[in-house]
Structure 1
Amino acid sequence: MSNASDRLIEAGTPAFRRATLALFAAGFSTFAVLYGVQPLLPVFADQFSVSPAESSLALSLPCATLAIALLIVSPLSEVFGRKPVMTTSLFASALLTIGAVLMPDWHGFLALRALTGLAASGLPAVAMAYLSEEMHGRAIGLSMGLLIGGNALGGMVGRLLAGVIADHASWRWGLGTIGVLALLAAVAFQFGLPASQRFQAHRMRWREVPGTFTHHFRDAGLPWLFLAPFLLMGGFVCVYNYIGFRLLDPPYSLSQTAIGLIFIVYLAGTASSTVTGHVAGMLGRRKVLWLAILLGLGGIALTMAENLILIILGIVIVTVSFFGAHSVASSWVGRRASSDRAQASAIYLCMYYLGSSLLGTAGGWFFLHYGWGGVAGFFASLYVAALLVALRLTRLPPLPLS
C-alpha cells in the first residue's frame, strides 16, 4: 500500500499537466470575468454619466463581495470537496456575466457584478488549497505560477476583447463574449481536473470555523504574508483602473482599441509568474519577494514620463513585478500553513481582493485631484510598505522541502 507522499503530483507527469491546464483555464476564466470591465471604465463613465471613481465600482464591487465570500466559501470546500465548489463557482460566474450585459441601467448592472464576485469566490482560495495538498513541494512553485499565469492571461484577453469589441460594436458585446469564453473554460475544468487524492470531505463543525482562521495569525510569517497582497494588488489595480483615462485624453488621445491593446502586456505577467515561482522554489522565497517588489517601484517611476513608449514600458515592469511577487507570496502561504490551508488561502485572497476593491477605488480620488502623478504617488507609498513587509519576511527561517 502506498503512503500519502506517493500520491503527490510531481512536475512533468500526466497528472501534473492535467491539473495545471485545468487550473490555468479556471484562473483564465475568473480573471477575465472580474477584470474584463477594466478598460471599459471610461465607457461606463460616459454612457452612465458617472465619475471615474464611480465607474470603478464595476470592478471594485465584485472584488469586495468576492473577498468577503472567500471566508465563507473556503470552509464549504471542506464539506463538499475542492473540485465541486470550484466547478460550481466557474459556471455561476460565467452565467452571471452573460446576464449582466442584459441589464439596462447602471444600478442593475452593478448588482449583477456584485453577485458575479460572490459566485467567483469559489475558485481562488480552493484552487490554492488544492495545489498545496496535491502537489509535491518541488512542483508547487511551478504549479502556482501556472495558475497565476492563467489569471494573467485571462486578465489580458478579457481586457483586450472588451476594449476592442467595445470600439467596434458595444461594451455589451465585449462583456458578453467574455461570459461565453468563461462558460467554455468551466466545461474544460470540469472534465480536466483530477479528483483530489489527499483530501477527504468531512462534516464541518461550524462553531469551530472561526478558530480555523484565527490560528493562522499566531504564526510568525503568515500575518505579514496576508498584508502583502492587500498592498500589492491595491497599487497594481490603480495603475490599470486609471491609465485608460489618462491615455484617452490629449496629448495621447488613444482609441478604446489602442488602450485595449496595451493589456497585451499581461503576457509579461503570465511569464513572470511562472518563472519567478520556479526560481523562488529553487533559491528561496525570502530572496526573491523583495526584489520583485522593488522592480515595481522602478516601473511606476517610468510611467511618469510624457513619452508613450516609456509609459508602456513602465506598465510592463509594474505587471512583471506584481505577478512575480504574487506568485511567490501565494505559494509561500500554501507552504507555511501546515493545517487549514483553504482558510489560510482564503485570508490571503480576501486581503488581495480587498486591496483591489478599497485601494483601487481610493486611487480614483487621487486621480481626480492630482492626475496621474497622484496615482503614481499612491502606488509608490503602497509598494514601499510592501517592500518593508518583504524585508521583514527575510528574517523567517526557510521551511524544509516536502
Structure 2
Amino acid sequence: MSTLPPAPLRPGRIRLALFLAGFATFSLLYGVQPLLPEFAREFGVGPAESSLPLSLATFGLAVSIFCAGAVSDSLGRRGLMFGSMALAALLTLLAAMLPQWNALVAVRALAGIALGGVPAVAMVYLAEELPPQRLGAAVGLYVAGNAFGGMTGRLGVSLLGEWMTWRHALMTLGLFDLLLALAFLWLLPPSRHFVRRRGVSLAFHLRAWRDQLRDPHLPWLFSVPFLVMGVFVSVYNYLGFRLGGPEFGLGPSQIGWIFSAYVFGIASSSIAGGASDRFGRGPVVLAGVGVAMIGVALTLAHHLWLIVSGVAVLTIGFFVAHASASTWVGRLGGTHRSHAASLYLLSYYLGASVVGACSGWFWEHGGWPALASLALGLLAVAWFAALHLRRHAPDDRSRVAPADHPAGD
C-alpha cells in the first residue's frame, strides 16, 4: 500500500502565517488599552477599574498558556492556534456590543483565555516544522508580529476612535483579526512532524514546575518580567488619563500616536539579543532596567516633549530588559526549559495584570507622581534582582535554541 509523500516545505508561508498570528494575538489583547478613559466615562468607573478589561485579559492569557501547551500535544498545533485567534476575535465583537460593564469585563477575560493558544504553541510549531537554518528568521518575524500587533492595535483603535464610537472601533478590530485568522488557516501548512503525545500526567508537569520554583536562581529571574512588564503596562494604561486631562487636553488620536514608541522597542529588542551574546545577559538586563528608570523619571516633567521622550526611553529599556532576560530562561531552565519558559510567561503576564490594575489606585489617590514613584520602586527591585543574577547565576554567552525562548509582546 503506497502512501503519499509529504507536502513540500513552504517556509515563506509559514513565516507569514506566524507573523499574522502574532499580530492578531497582541492587537486583540492590547487594542482596548487606549479605550480606558472612554470606559471610565461611559460606565462611570474609576481609572483603576477601567483597566480590568485589559488586566483580566492578560491574567487569562497567563493562566491559559499553561493548559494550551499540554492540550496542543493531544489536539495538534495548527487547529489550536486558529481556534484561539478566531474565538478571541468573535469575543471582541461581542464585547463591543455589550451594554453592561461586568459583562464586558467577563468577555474580555474569556478572550484572554482564548488567546493563550497562540504564544503557547507558535514556537513549538516552528521548531517542529522548520530546519534549524530557517528557524531564526521565522522566530524573529513572529516576535516582530507580536510587537507590531500590540502597537497597531493600540494606535489603530485610537485613530478610529477619533471619528467613530469606541464600540465601532473595537468591532472593526475584531472583524479585521477574524479575517487574519482565516488567512492564517489558509497559509499555514498542516503539521508534518507533529507526534501526538499521550500518557503525560499532570503530576509530571507539577513536579517540573515545583523543581523550577525551588531553583536558587529562577525565581529571581521570574521576578524581572513581572516587575518590568507591570511598570510598562501601568505607564501606558494611565498616561492617557493624564494627557487627556486638564494639564494637556489631548484628544484620543493625539494620545494614540504615543503608542508608536513601540517602534523603538522593536528595534532595541533585536539589538539587545546581540548585546547579550557579546557582553552577557546580566549586564544587558541591568542596563535595560536602568534605562527604563530614566524613562519613568522623565515622565514626571510637565513638558509634553519630555513626557513623550520618557515613554520612548521607557519602551527601549523595557524591551532590552525583557529580550535579554527571556534568553536567560533557556540557560537556567535545565532539562525542563519549556516549563521554565511557561513560568517566565506566567510572571510576565501576571505583572501586566496585577501591577497594571493595582497601580491605578496610585493614580487615583496621588496622581502621576504617586504612580511614577511606584514604578521607580518596582524597577529598583527588578534592578537588584538582575544584579543578584549577574553575581550568582551562570550566564554563558552561547545562543540558546530559539524554540525555548518565551516570546511576549
**Shift in CA distance, 290/144, structure 1 to aligned 2, threshold 3 Å:** farther
Contact 1:224 1:389 in 2 (8 A): yes
Matched, 1:397 2:388: no
| CA positional deviation for 1:335 | 4.9
Matched, 1:24 2:51: no
Matched, 1:42 2:37: yes
Matched, 1:231 2:227: yes
| CA positional deviation for 1:392 | 2.0
For 1:201, what is the secondary structure of its paired residue? coil
Aligned mate of 1:66, from 47, 53, 61? 61
Q: Distance in 2 between matches of 1:319 and 1:401?
A: 24
Aligned mate of 1:327, from 307, 320, 323? 323
Q: Distance in 2 between matches of 1:317 and 1:144?
A: 25
Q: Distance in 2 between matches of 1:84 and 1:378?
A: 42
Q: Distance in 2 between matches of 1:135 and 1:300?
A: 41
The AA in structure 1 aligned to 2:85 is L
Q: Distance in 2 between matches of 1:338 and 1:134?
A: 23
For 2:161, what is the secondary structure of its paired residue? helix
Q: Distance in 2 between matches of 1:287 and 1:29?
A: 33
- For structure 1, the 5+ residue unaligned runs are 1-12
Give the 5 Å matches for 1:135-284.
146-193=141-188, 200-203=195-198, 204-284=200-280
Q: Distance in 1 between matches of 2:128 and 2:308?
A: 39
Aligned mate of 2:281, from 278, 285, 294? 285
Q: Distance in 2 between matches of 1:285 and 1:42?
A: 38
- The residue aligned with 1:296 is 292
- The residue aligned with 2:407 is none
**Shift in CA distance, 127/391, structure 1 to aligned 2, threshold 3 Å:** farther
The AA in structure 2 aligned to 1:298 is I
- The residue aligned with 2:86 is 91
**Shift in CA distance, 197/351, structure 1 to aligned 2, threshold 3 Å:** farther
For 1:167, what is the secondary structure of its paired residue? coil
Aligned mate of 1:309, from 290, 305, 308? 305
For 1:252, what is the secondary structure of its paired residue? coil
For 2:117, what is the secondary structure of its paired residue? coil
Bigger shift: 124-133 or 23-32? Answer: 124-133
Percent of aligned positions that are identical: 43
- For structure 2, the 5+ residue unaligned runs are 1-8, 401-409
- The residue aligned with 1:364 is 360
Contact 2:91 2:107 in 1 (8 A): yes
- The residue aligned with 1:4 is none
| CA positional deviation for 1:144 | 5.0
Bigger shift: 47-56 or 329-338? Answer: 329-338
**Shift in CA distance, 329/309, structure 1 to aligned 2, threshold 3 Å:** same
**Shift in CA distance, 239/176, structure 1 to aligned 2, threshold 3 Å:** same
**Shift in CA distance, 199/330, structure 1 to aligned 2, threshold 3 Å:** farther
The AA in structure 2 aligned to 1:160 is L
Could you list the per-position Cα deviations for residues 314-370 of structure 1 after superposition, in whole angstroms to 9, with x for gaps in the alignment? 001111111222222223324543444443322111111111111111111110111
Contact 2:328 2:395 in 1 (8 A): no
Contact 1:74 1:342 in 2 (8 A): no
Could you list the per-position Cα deviations for residues 60-86 of structure 1 after superposition, in whole angstroms to 9, with x for gaps in the alignment? 111122222222222222322333322
Contact 1:149 1:271 in 2 (8 A): no
Contact 1:146 1:274 in 2 (8 A): no
| CA positional deviation for 1:285 | 2.3
Could you list the per-position Cα deviations for residues 114-155 of structure 1 after superposition, in whole angstroms to 9, with x for gaps in the alignment? 110110111223334455667788987776554333222112
The AA in structure 2 aligned to 1:396 is A
Give the 5 Å matches for 1:94-113.
94-113=89-108
| CA positional deviation for 1:384 | 1.0
Contact 1:89 1:119 in 2 (8 A): yes
Contact 1:36 1:162 in 2 (8 A): yes
Q: Distance in 2 between matches of 1:385 and 1:143?
A: 34
- The residue aligned with 2:4 is none
The AA in structure 2 aligned to 1:80 is L
Bigger shift: 342-351 or 91-100? Answer: 342-351
**Shift in CA distance, 276/193, structure 1 to aligned 2, threshold 3 Å:** farther
TM-score if structure 2 supplies the norm length? 0.87
Q: Distance in 1 between matches of 2:187 and 2:307?
A: 40
For 1:123, what is the secondary structure of its paired residue? helix
The AA in structure 1 aligned to 2:386 is A
How many residues were matched structurally? Answer: 389
**Shift in CA distance, 285/187, structure 1 to aligned 2, threshold 3 Å:** farther
Contact 1:31 1:154 in 2 (8 A): yes
| CA positional deviation for 1:54 | 0.9
- The residue aligned with 1:385 is 381
Matched, 1:118 2:118: no
Contact 1:100 1:112 in 2 (8 A): yes
- The residue aligned with 2:405 is none
